[in-house]
Copies of this chain bind each other. A is one copy, B any other.
């Protein structure tokens, strides 16, 4: 299981707002049953099998293009740990536990 964070920026949007495009990429995620995700104010965090995570990120990237949007810059950070099973929840709890001490 890998955890990835993705942030997708459409260029040439006329206005500074891009939330409409972020919503569109969320709809791609909502249709995917094998992927867990969490929306943050700076991107979307996805948990799943690495192959599937990359596939869904490609779909999110493609969904951002339309007749007005001819350029998309997508940033992906993949955190892939194989000595133990990781999850979005587990990673966060591990830090919070250390903070409590």
Q: Which residues on A are within 8 Å of B, measured CB to CB?
A: 3, 5, 7, 9, 11-20, 22-23, 26-27, 38-43, 45, 50-51, 54, 58, 61, 65, 70-83, 87-89, 91-92, 94-96, 98-99
* A20, A23, A41 interface centre (most CB from chain B within 10 Å): A41
Q: Is the interface of A mostly helix, strand, loop or mixed?
A: mixed
Copies assembled: 4
Instruction: Considering the complex, give the chain B residue whose CB is closest to the CB of A10.
Output: B11
Verify B9–A16 contact, CB threshold 8 A: no
Q: Cβ of A14: which chain B residues have Cβ within 8 Å of it?
A: 12, 14
What are 19 of the A-B contact pairs (CB < 8 Å)?
A3-B41, A3-B42, A9-B73, A12-B15, A12-B16, A14-B14, A16-B71, A17-B94, A19-B91, A26-B99, A40-B40, A40-B45, A41-B92, A42-B77, A51-B58, A54-B54, A71-B82, A74-B76, A74-B77
